[in-house]
Amino acid sequence: MSARSNTPDPNDDPGCTQSDAAEEASAARDSEAGLSRRAMLMIGATGAAGLVTGAAAQQTAPAGPGIAAGAVAGMPFRAFVRYGTEGSVEDLRLRGIKPTQVLVRTRGSCGCYTVTSSVLGTFPQNAPAIPNHSGMGIVEAVGAQVRRVRVGDRVLVSGTPWCGQCHQCLTGTPEWCNYLAPGGVPNDPIADMADGTGVIESAVIGGLSEIIVAYEEYCVPIFSDLPDEQIAMLGDTGAVGIAATSVYDPVQIGQNVVIFGAGPIGLAAVQGARAQAAGKIIVIDPVRYRREKALEFGATTVLDPNEDTDTLVDRIRELCAQRTDRLDAGGQVAGNGPFSMQGADLVVEASGLDRFPPAVEVGPDPTGLLALRQAWEVTAPGGSLVTLAVQDGDIAFPASAFCLSGKRIYGGQMAGMNVMRDTERFITAMENGAVNIGAIITATLPLDRVKEGFQRVADRTELGVVFTFG
Ligand SMILES: [Zn+2]
Ligand SMILES: [Zn+2]
Protein backbone atom coordinates (compact mmCIF):
# COMPACT_ATOMS: atom_id res chain seq x y z
CA MET A 1 0.00 0.00 0.00
CA SER A 2 1.22 3.44 -0.77
CA ALA A 3 2.48 5.30 2.26
CA ARG A 4 0.38 8.17 1.09
CA SER A 5 -2.77 6.28 0.28
CA ASN A 6 -4.33 7.25 3.59
CA THR A 7 -3.41 10.89 3.34
CA PRO A 8 -6.44 12.72 4.67
CA ASP A 9 -8.16 15.26 2.57
CA PRO A 10 -7.92 18.68 4.25
CA ASN A 11 -11.66 19.02 3.88
CA ASP A 12 -12.24 15.94 6.01
CA ASP A 13 -12.93 16.44 9.67
CA PRO A 14 -10.23 14.47 11.50
CA GLY A 15 -12.58 14.07 14.45
CA CYS A 16 -14.56 11.49 12.52
CA THR A 17 -11.60 9.11 12.53
CA GLN A 18 -10.38 9.67 16.06
CA SER A 19 -11.88 8.96 19.44
CA ASP A 20 -12.67 12.04 21.47
CA ALA A 21 -9.86 11.26 23.90
CA ALA A 22 -7.30 10.87 21.18
CA GLU A 23 -8.56 14.00 19.53
CA GLU A 24 -8.30 15.87 22.81
CA ALA A 25 -4.75 14.65 23.43
CA SER A 26 -3.80 15.52 19.89
CA ALA A 27 -5.34 18.96 20.26
CA ALA A 28 -3.42 19.50 23.50
CA ARG A 29 -0.12 18.59 21.86
CA ASP A 30 -0.84 20.76 18.88
CA SER A 31 -1.95 23.59 21.02
CA GLU A 32 1.33 23.40 22.95
CA ALA A 33 3.04 23.81 19.62
CA GLY A 34 0.92 26.86 19.05
CA LEU A 35 -1.68 25.76 16.53
CA SER A 36 -4.33 23.08 16.61
CA ARG A 37 -4.42 20.53 13.86
CA ARG A 38 -8.06 21.35 13.32
CA ALA A 39 -7.17 25.00 12.80
CA MET A 40 -4.45 24.00 10.34
CA LEU A 41 -6.90 21.86 8.45
CA MET A 42 -9.32 24.75 8.37
CA ILE A 43 -6.62 26.90 6.83
CA GLY A 44 -6.11 24.22 4.24
CA ALA A 45 -9.82 24.00 3.57
CA THR A 46 -10.46 27.69 3.23
CA GLY A 47 -7.20 29.17 2.11
CA ALA A 48 -7.62 31.89 4.71
CA ALA A 49 -4.28 32.81 6.22
CA GLY A 50 -5.78 34.98 8.90
CA LEU A 51 -7.61 32.35 10.94
CA VAL A 52 -4.86 32.06 13.52
CA THR A 53 -3.64 35.21 15.11
CA GLY A 54 -1.44 36.39 17.94
CA ALA A 55 1.61 34.81 19.51
CA ALA A 56 0.54 31.26 18.76
CA ALA A 57 0.34 32.03 15.09
CA GLN A 58 3.78 33.61 15.12
CA GLN A 59 5.28 30.53 16.73
CA THR A 60 3.95 27.90 14.43
CA ALA A 61 1.62 29.11 11.74
CA PRO A 62 3.10 29.39 8.30
CA ALA A 63 2.88 33.09 7.65
CA GLY A 64 1.85 34.90 4.54
CA PRO A 65 -0.38 34.07 1.63
CA GLY A 66 -0.38 30.93 -0.43
CA ILE A 67 -0.86 28.42 2.37
CA ALA A 68 -3.66 26.59 0.67
CA ALA A 69 -3.20 24.55 -2.45
CA GLY A 70 -5.66 26.67 -4.35
CA ALA A 71 -3.80 29.89 -3.62
CA VAL A 72 -0.77 28.92 -5.69
CA ALA A 73 -2.50 27.14 -8.55
CA GLY A 74 -1.78 28.81 -11.86
CA MET A 75 1.53 30.30 -10.70
CA PRO A 76 3.82 30.67 -13.75
CA PHE A 77 7.41 29.45 -13.63
CA ARG A 78 10.16 28.11 -15.88
CA ALA A 79 11.72 24.68 -15.77
CA PHE A 80 13.89 22.40 -17.86
CA VAL A 81 11.53 19.71 -19.13
CA ARG A 82 12.51 16.46 -20.77
CA TYR A 83 9.82 15.04 -23.07
CA GLY A 84 9.97 12.64 -26.00
CA THR A 85 13.61 12.72 -27.01
CA GLU A 86 13.94 16.46 -26.44
CA GLY A 87 14.69 18.68 -23.51
CA SER A 88 14.29 22.43 -23.17
CA VAL A 89 13.35 25.22 -20.79
CA GLU A 90 9.58 25.60 -20.80
CA ASP A 91 7.04 28.04 -19.38
CA LEU A 92 4.79 26.12 -16.99
CA ARG A 93 1.81 26.78 -14.77
CA LEU A 94 1.60 25.21 -11.34
CA ARG A 95 -1.33 22.92 -10.63
CA GLY A 96 -1.28 23.58 -6.90
CA ILE A 97 0.14 21.65 -3.96
CA LYS A 98 -1.20 18.87 -1.77
CA PRO A 99 -1.77 19.35 1.97
CA THR A 100 1.43 17.37 2.61
CA GLN A 101 3.61 19.29 0.17
CA VAL A 102 5.89 22.30 0.27
CA LEU A 103 6.34 24.88 -2.47
CA VAL A 104 9.98 25.94 -2.73
CA ARG A 105 11.30 28.88 -4.75
CA THR A 106 14.51 27.27 -6.00
CA ARG A 107 17.88 28.95 -5.36
CA GLY A 108 20.21 26.07 -6.23
CA SER A 109 20.25 22.49 -7.54
CA CYS A 110 23.29 20.24 -7.60
CA GLY A 111 24.11 18.50 -10.88
CA CYS A 112 24.54 14.76 -10.38
CA TYR A 113 26.22 12.34 -12.80
CA THR A 114 23.30 9.93 -12.38
CA VAL A 115 21.07 12.51 -14.04
CA THR A 116 23.18 13.01 -17.18
CA SER A 117 21.12 10.43 -19.08
CA SER A 118 17.87 12.15 -18.10
CA VAL A 119 19.08 15.49 -19.46
CA LEU A 120 21.27 14.42 -22.40
CA GLY A 121 20.04 10.92 -23.22
CA THR A 122 18.26 9.99 -26.40
CA PHE A 123 15.80 7.51 -24.92
CA PRO A 124 12.15 8.62 -25.19
CA GLN A 125 10.63 10.14 -22.05
CA ASN A 126 6.94 9.31 -22.25
CA ALA A 127 5.75 11.47 -19.35
CA PRO A 128 7.25 14.98 -19.51
CA ALA A 129 9.45 15.40 -16.48
CA ILE A 130 11.70 17.91 -14.73
CA PRO A 131 15.00 16.03 -14.20
CA ASN A 132 17.36 15.93 -11.19
CA HIS A 133 16.69 14.89 -7.61
CA SER A 134 17.67 17.62 -5.18
CA GLY A 135 17.59 21.37 -4.66
CA MET A 136 17.43 24.17 -2.15
CA GLY A 137 15.60 27.44 -1.84
CA ILE A 138 13.04 29.40 0.12
CA VAL A 139 9.69 28.02 1.23
CA GLU A 140 6.98 30.01 -0.46
CA ALA A 141 3.90 28.03 0.58
CA VAL A 142 3.07 24.95 2.59
CA GLY A 143 0.16 22.56 2.58
CA ALA A 144 -2.12 22.59 5.59
CA GLN A 145 -0.58 19.48 7.19
CA VAL A 146 3.06 20.51 6.88
CA ARG A 147 4.86 21.04 10.20
CA ARG A 148 8.60 20.73 9.58
CA VAL A 149 9.11 23.89 7.53
CA ARG A 150 7.43 27.28 7.43
CA VAL A 151 6.91 29.93 4.82
CA GLY A 152 10.11 31.96 4.53
CA ASP A 153 12.38 29.12 5.71
CA ARG A 154 15.57 28.36 3.88
CA VAL A 155 15.24 24.71 2.99
CA LEU A 156 17.19 21.85 1.48
CA VAL A 157 15.15 19.47 -0.65
CA SER A 158 17.27 16.41 -0.07
CA GLY A 159 17.62 13.59 -2.56
CA THR A 160 16.64 11.27 0.27
CA PRO A 161 13.69 11.80 2.60
CA TRP A 162 13.32 11.11 6.29
CA CYS A 163 9.88 10.59 7.75
CA GLY A 164 10.91 9.10 11.10
CA GLN A 165 7.83 6.90 11.16
CA CYS A 166 8.14 4.23 8.46
CA HIS A 167 9.63 0.79 9.11
CA GLN A 168 13.06 1.65 7.67
CA CYS A 169 13.30 4.96 9.54
CA LEU A 170 12.41 3.17 12.78
CA THR A 171 14.81 0.28 12.31
CA GLY A 172 18.06 1.99 11.46
CA THR A 173 18.07 2.36 7.67
CA PRO A 174 16.68 5.87 7.23
CA GLU A 175 18.47 6.19 3.88
CA TRP A 176 15.74 3.87 2.62
CA CYS A 177 12.87 5.80 4.12
CA ASN A 178 9.79 4.34 2.45
CA TYR A 179 8.86 7.71 1.03
CA LEU A 180 11.74 7.03 -1.36
CA ALA A 181 10.48 3.61 -2.38
CA PRO A 182 8.83 3.08 -5.74
CA GLY A 183 5.16 3.67 -5.09
CA GLY A 184 5.89 5.27 -1.73
CA VAL A 185 4.31 8.57 -2.65
CA PRO A 186 2.29 9.53 -5.71
CA ASN A 187 4.28 11.32 -8.38
CA ASP A 188 1.49 13.33 -9.95
CA PRO A 189 2.00 16.16 -12.42
CA ILE A 190 2.78 19.39 -10.60
CA ALA A 191 2.36 21.71 -13.55
CA ASP A 192 1.11 22.03 -17.10
CA MET A 193 2.89 22.99 -20.27
CA ALA A 194 1.31 25.55 -22.60
CA ASP A 195 -0.61 22.81 -24.43
CA GLY A 196 -2.03 21.45 -21.18
CA THR A 197 0.28 18.42 -20.91
CA GLY A 198 1.06 17.57 -17.30
CA VAL A 199 4.67 17.63 -16.09
CA ILE A 200 6.00 15.47 -13.25
CA GLU A 201 9.18 15.88 -11.18
CA SER A 202 11.81 13.15 -11.43
CA ALA A 203 12.10 11.37 -8.08
CA VAL A 204 9.22 13.58 -6.82
CA ILE A 205 11.76 16.43 -6.59
CA GLY A 206 13.06 17.51 -9.98
CA GLY A 207 15.27 20.51 -9.24
CA LEU A 208 16.03 22.05 -12.63
CA SER A 209 13.15 24.43 -12.13
CA GLU A 210 12.33 27.78 -10.58
CA ILE A 211 9.82 25.91 -8.40
CA ILE A 212 10.13 22.62 -6.53
CA VAL A 213 7.03 20.98 -5.12
CA ALA A 214 8.29 18.56 -2.48
CA TYR A 215 6.70 16.33 0.10
CA GLU A 216 7.48 17.56 3.59
CA GLU A 217 9.55 14.46 4.31
CA TYR A 218 12.14 15.54 1.73
CA CYS A 219 12.55 19.00 3.25
CA VAL A 220 15.33 19.85 5.69
CA PRO A 221 15.14 23.36 7.16
CA ILE A 222 18.50 25.13 7.06
CA PHE A 223 19.57 27.41 9.88
CA SER A 224 22.88 28.61 8.49
CA ASP A 225 24.27 31.44 6.38
CA LEU A 226 26.38 29.18 4.17
CA PRO A 227 26.03 30.13 0.48
CA ASP A 228 23.18 28.65 -1.55
CA GLU A 229 25.45 26.59 -3.79
CA GLN A 230 27.12 24.90 -0.82
CA ILE A 231 23.76 24.02 0.71
CA ALA A 232 22.68 22.69 -2.70
CA MET A 233 25.62 20.26 -2.64
CA LEU A 234 24.23 18.81 0.59
CA GLY A 235 21.19 17.51 -1.26
CA ASP A 236 23.34 15.06 -3.16
CA THR A 237 27.04 14.60 -3.97
CA GLY A 238 28.63 16.76 -1.28
CA ALA A 239 26.68 15.21 1.57
CA VAL A 240 27.12 11.69 0.21
CA GLY A 241 30.90 12.04 0.26
CA ILE A 242 31.09 13.36 3.80
CA ALA A 243 28.63 10.72 4.96
CA ALA A 244 30.71 7.94 3.43
CA THR A 245 33.38 8.44 6.07
CA SER A 246 31.19 9.36 9.00
CA VAL A 247 27.87 7.50 9.04
CA TYR A 248 27.95 3.68 8.63
CA ASP A 249 31.34 2.97 10.23
CA PRO A 250 32.93 6.33 10.98
CA VAL A 251 36.68 6.52 10.37
CA GLN A 252 38.65 6.30 13.58
CA ILE A 253 41.80 8.32 14.16
CA GLY A 254 44.71 6.86 12.22
CA GLN A 255 42.71 4.33 10.23
CA ASN A 256 43.45 3.83 6.54
CA VAL A 257 40.92 4.88 3.94
CA VAL A 258 40.85 4.03 0.23
CA ILE A 259 38.63 6.00 -2.13
CA PHE A 260 37.94 4.92 -5.71
CA GLY A 261 36.90 7.92 -7.79
CA ALA A 262 37.79 11.57 -7.24
CA GLY A 263 34.66 13.19 -8.59
CA PRO A 264 32.57 15.40 -6.30
CA ILE A 265 31.55 12.46 -4.10
CA GLY A 266 35.05 11.02 -3.82
CA LEU A 267 36.60 14.41 -3.10
CA ALA A 268 34.05 15.12 -0.39
CA ALA A 269 34.95 11.70 1.03
CA VAL A 270 38.63 12.71 1.01
CA GLN A 271 37.71 15.79 3.01
CA GLY A 272 35.59 13.71 5.36
CA ALA A 273 38.43 11.23 5.91
CA ARG A 274 40.83 14.08 6.60
CA ALA A 275 38.37 15.68 9.02
CA GLN A 276 38.10 12.34 10.86
CA ALA A 277 41.94 12.26 11.20
CA ALA A 278 42.39 9.21 8.98
CA GLY A 279 45.87 7.70 8.63
CA LYS A 280 46.51 6.99 4.97
CA ILE A 281 44.02 8.36 2.46
CA ILE A 282 44.61 6.58 -0.85
CA VAL A 283 42.70 7.82 -3.89
CA ILE A 284 42.40 6.07 -7.25
CA ASP A 285 41.26 7.98 -10.34
CA PRO A 286 42.38 7.96 -14.00
CA VAL A 287 41.97 11.75 -14.37
CA ARG A 288 45.06 13.74 -13.51
CA TYR A 289 43.36 16.98 -12.41
CA ARG A 290 41.12 14.99 -10.08
CA ARG A 291 44.10 13.22 -8.51
CA GLU A 292 45.72 16.64 -7.98
CA LYS A 293 42.54 17.91 -6.29
CA ALA A 294 42.56 14.85 -4.06
CA LEU A 295 46.09 15.65 -2.92
CA GLU A 296 45.04 19.24 -2.29
CA PHE A 297 42.20 18.05 -0.04
CA GLY A 298 44.30 15.67 2.02
CA ALA A 299 44.95 12.45 0.11
CA THR A 300 48.27 10.93 1.15
CA THR A 301 48.69 8.82 -2.02
CA VAL A 302 47.00 9.04 -5.41
CA LEU A 303 47.09 6.24 -7.96
CA ASP A 304 46.23 6.02 -11.65
CA PRO A 305 44.27 2.79 -12.26
CA ASN A 306 45.63 2.68 -15.80
CA GLU A 307 49.14 2.17 -14.50
CA ASP A 308 49.87 -1.35 -13.36
CA THR A 309 46.18 -2.22 -13.52
CA ASP A 310 46.85 -5.87 -12.74
CA THR A 311 48.89 -5.06 -9.63
CA LEU A 312 46.80 -2.16 -8.31
CA VAL A 313 45.22 -4.26 -5.58
CA ASP A 314 48.61 -5.54 -4.37
CA ARG A 315 49.97 -1.99 -4.34
CA ILE A 316 47.08 -0.69 -2.23
CA ARG A 317 47.36 -3.60 0.19
CA GLU A 318 51.07 -2.91 0.62
CA LEU A 319 50.33 0.76 1.29
CA CYS A 320 47.86 -0.27 3.99
CA ALA A 321 50.16 -2.84 5.59
CA GLN A 322 50.86 -2.66 9.29
CA ARG A 323 54.30 -1.48 10.43
CA THR A 324 55.49 -4.97 11.30
CA ASP A 325 54.91 -8.57 10.30
CA ARG A 326 55.75 -9.74 13.86
CA LEU A 327 52.49 -11.39 14.85
CA ASP A 328 53.36 -11.26 18.54
CA ALA A 329 53.78 -7.50 18.28
CA GLY A 330 50.56 -6.42 16.60
CA GLY A 331 51.79 -7.37 13.17
CA GLN A 332 50.11 -8.77 10.14
CA VAL A 333 50.87 -11.43 7.54
CA ALA A 334 51.78 -10.04 4.15
CA GLY A 335 50.12 -11.65 1.19
CA ASN A 336 47.54 -11.42 -1.50
CA GLY A 337 44.58 -13.44 -2.70
CA PRO A 338 40.99 -13.49 -1.52
CA PHE A 339 41.93 -14.02 2.12
CA SER A 340 44.65 -11.37 2.30
CA MET A 341 44.90 -9.86 5.76
CA GLN A 342 46.07 -6.57 4.34
CA GLY A 343 43.77 -3.80 3.24
CA ALA A 344 42.01 -0.64 4.30
CA ASP A 345 39.77 -0.10 7.31
CA LEU A 346 37.33 1.81 5.12
CA VAL A 347 36.94 1.69 1.35
CA VAL A 348 34.67 4.05 -0.56
CA GLU A 349 33.68 3.13 -4.12
CA ALA A 350 32.67 6.33 -5.90
CA SER A 351 33.90 5.89 -9.45
CA GLY A 352 31.00 4.34 -11.31
CA LEU A 353 30.41 3.70 -14.97
CA ASP A 354 30.87 5.97 -17.96
CA ARG A 355 27.39 6.75 -19.28
CA PHE A 356 29.04 8.96 -21.88
CA PRO A 357 32.61 8.91 -23.23
CA PRO A 358 34.70 11.12 -20.94
CA ALA A 359 36.49 14.07 -22.51
CA VAL A 360 39.37 13.49 -20.09
CA GLU A 361 41.54 10.45 -19.34
CA VAL A 362 39.56 7.21 -19.56
CA GLY A 363 39.79 4.52 -16.89
CA PRO A 364 40.51 0.83 -17.53
CA ASP A 365 36.85 -0.27 -17.37
CA PRO A 366 33.94 1.92 -18.54
CA THR A 367 31.41 -0.35 -16.80
CA GLY A 368 32.84 0.48 -13.36
CA LEU A 369 32.81 -3.19 -12.37
CA LEU A 370 36.60 -3.49 -12.17
CA ALA A 371 36.79 -0.66 -9.63
CA LEU A 372 33.97 -2.24 -7.63
CA ARG A 373 35.77 -5.59 -7.57
CA GLN A 374 39.08 -3.96 -6.62
CA ALA A 375 37.35 -1.95 -3.88
CA TRP A 376 36.06 -5.16 -2.32
CA GLU A 377 39.48 -6.80 -2.66
CA VAL A 378 41.33 -4.02 -0.83
CA THR A 379 38.87 -3.96 2.06
CA ALA A 380 40.61 -5.58 5.03
CA PRO A 381 38.99 -8.39 7.00
CA GLY A 382 36.80 -6.54 9.47
CA GLY A 383 36.96 -3.44 7.30
CA SER A 384 34.03 -1.65 5.70
CA LEU A 385 33.18 -1.07 2.06
CA VAL A 386 30.71 1.67 1.13
CA THR A 387 29.53 1.43 -2.48
CA LEU A 388 28.10 4.68 -3.80
CA ALA A 389 28.37 4.54 -7.57
CA VAL A 390 26.23 3.01 -10.25
CA GLN A 391 27.67 0.24 -12.39
CA ASP A 392 26.48 -1.61 -15.43
CA GLY A 393 25.99 -5.37 -15.39
CA ASP A 394 26.60 -8.09 -12.82
CA ILE A 395 29.66 -8.85 -10.74
CA ALA A 396 31.07 -12.10 -9.32
CA PHE A 397 33.11 -12.60 -6.16
CA PRO A 398 34.94 -15.69 -4.89
CA ALA A 399 32.13 -17.22 -2.87
CA SER A 400 34.03 -18.45 0.16
CA ALA A 401 35.88 -15.17 0.64
CA PHE A 402 32.69 -13.22 0.08
CA CYS A 403 30.97 -15.28 2.78
CA LEU A 404 33.79 -15.58 5.31
CA SER A 405 36.17 -12.65 5.02
CA GLY A 406 34.46 -10.46 7.60
CA LYS A 407 34.13 -7.48 5.29
CA ARG A 408 31.18 -5.25 6.06
CA ILE A 409 29.54 -4.11 2.84
CA TYR A 410 27.20 -1.16 2.79
CA GLY A 411 25.14 -0.55 -0.31
CA GLY A 412 25.33 3.13 0.33
CA GLN A 413 22.19 4.86 -0.87
CA MET A 414 22.99 8.44 0.31
CA ALA A 415 25.85 6.77 2.24
CA GLY A 416 23.37 5.88 4.98
CA MET A 417 22.41 9.42 5.88
CA ASN A 418 19.58 10.32 8.16
CA VAL A 419 19.18 13.68 6.47
CA MET A 420 17.45 15.39 9.38
CA ARG A 421 20.18 14.28 11.79
CA ASP A 422 23.29 14.47 9.60
CA THR A 423 22.76 17.59 7.45
CA GLU A 424 23.05 19.74 10.55
CA ARG A 425 26.33 18.04 11.53
CA PHE A 426 27.78 18.51 8.07
CA ILE A 427 26.83 22.19 8.04
CA THR A 428 28.65 22.65 11.33
CA ALA A 429 31.74 20.95 9.89
CA MET A 430 31.53 23.23 6.84
CA GLU A 431 31.15 26.34 8.99
CA ASN A 432 34.15 25.52 11.15
CA GLY A 433 36.29 24.67 8.12
CA ALA A 434 36.73 20.96 8.81
CA VAL A 435 35.39 20.31 5.32
CA ASN A 436 35.23 22.71 2.39
CA ILE A 437 32.47 21.71 0.01
CA GLY A 438 32.71 25.11 -1.67
CA ALA A 439 36.14 24.13 -3.00
CA ILE A 440 34.59 21.20 -4.88
CA ILE A 441 32.18 23.45 -6.80
CA THR A 442 33.79 24.34 -10.11
CA ALA A 443 30.80 25.78 -11.97
CA THR A 444 27.59 27.63 -11.14
CA LEU A 445 25.26 28.01 -14.11
CA PRO A 446 21.78 29.42 -14.77
CA LEU A 447 18.76 27.37 -15.81
CA ASP A 448 19.22 28.28 -19.47
CA ARG A 449 22.56 26.43 -19.46
CA VAL A 450 21.34 23.11 -18.05
CA LYS A 451 22.36 21.07 -21.09
CA GLU A 452 25.80 22.64 -21.18
CA GLY A 453 26.27 22.02 -17.47
CA PHE A 454 25.29 18.36 -17.68
CA GLN A 455 27.46 17.91 -20.77
CA ARG A 456 30.42 19.06 -18.69
CA VAL A 457 29.38 16.65 -15.92
CA ALA A 458 29.16 13.85 -18.51
CA ASP A 459 32.55 14.85 -19.92
CA ARG A 460 33.96 14.77 -16.36
CA THR A 461 35.59 18.14 -17.01
CA GLU A 462 33.93 19.68 -13.93
CA LEU A 463 33.61 18.58 -10.33
CA GLY A 464 30.65 20.06 -8.48
CA VAL A 465 28.18 21.82 -10.77
CA VAL A 466 25.34 23.81 -9.23
CA PHE A 467 22.48 25.41 -11.14
CA THR A 468 21.44 28.69 -9.60
CA PHE A 469 18.21 30.68 -9.90
CA GLY A 470 17.28 34.32 -9.61
ZN1 LIG B 1 22.34 12.14 -7.41
ZN1 LIG C 1 10.69 6.93 6.68
| Dihedral sign for Cα atoms in the order 141, 91, 159, 156 | negative
CA distance 69 to 145: 11
- Confidence check: pLDDT of 35 > 60: no
Ligand 1 center from residue 414 Cα (angstroms): 9
- H helices present in 215-276, as ranges: 228-233, 237-244, 264-275
325 pLDDT more than 90: yes
User: Please, which residues have CB less than 5 A from ligand 1, an ion?
Assistant: 112, 114, 236
Q: What is the mean pLDDT of residues 439-447?
A: 98
φ/ψ of 159, rounded to 5, equals -65, -15
* pLDDT average, residue stretch 316-323: 96
The pLDDT tens digits of the residues spanning 248-307 come to 999 999 999 999 999 999 999 999 999 999 999 999 999 999 999 999 999 999 999 999
* E-assigned strand segments in 113-203: 125-130, 135-142, 154-157, 191-192, 198-201
Residue 301 CA to its chain's centroid (Å): 28
Percent of the chain with pLDDT over 90: 79
Q: Indicate which ligand has the atom closest to the C-alpha of 172.
A: 2
pLDDT tens digits for range 397-420: 999 999 999 999 999 999 999 999
pLDDT at residue number 125: 85
pLDDT for res 56: 43
pTM of the model: 0.86
Q: How far is CA 377 from CA 90, 246, 398, 402, 409, in A?
A: 48, 22, 10, 10, 12
Q: Can you give the pLDDT at residue 470?
A: 77
Ligand nearest to the CA of 134: 1
pLDDT reported for residue 43: 33
Each residue's pLDDT tens digit, 116-154: 999 998 888 889 999 999 999 999 999 999 999 999 999
Asked if 317 and 343 touch (Cβ cutoff 8 Å), the reply is yes
**To which H or E segment does residue 93 belong?**
strand 86-94
Q: What is the pLDDT of residues 350-383, one digit of tens each?
A: 999 999 999 999 999 999 999 999 999 999 999 9
CA 10 – ligand 1 centroid, Å:
33
**Which ligand is located closest to the Cα atom of residue 177?**
2
Residue 109: phi, psi to the nearest 5? -150, 125
Residue 198: its pLDDT value, please?
A: 97
- For 413: left if phi > 0, alpha if psi spans -120 to 50, otherwise beta; the answer is beta
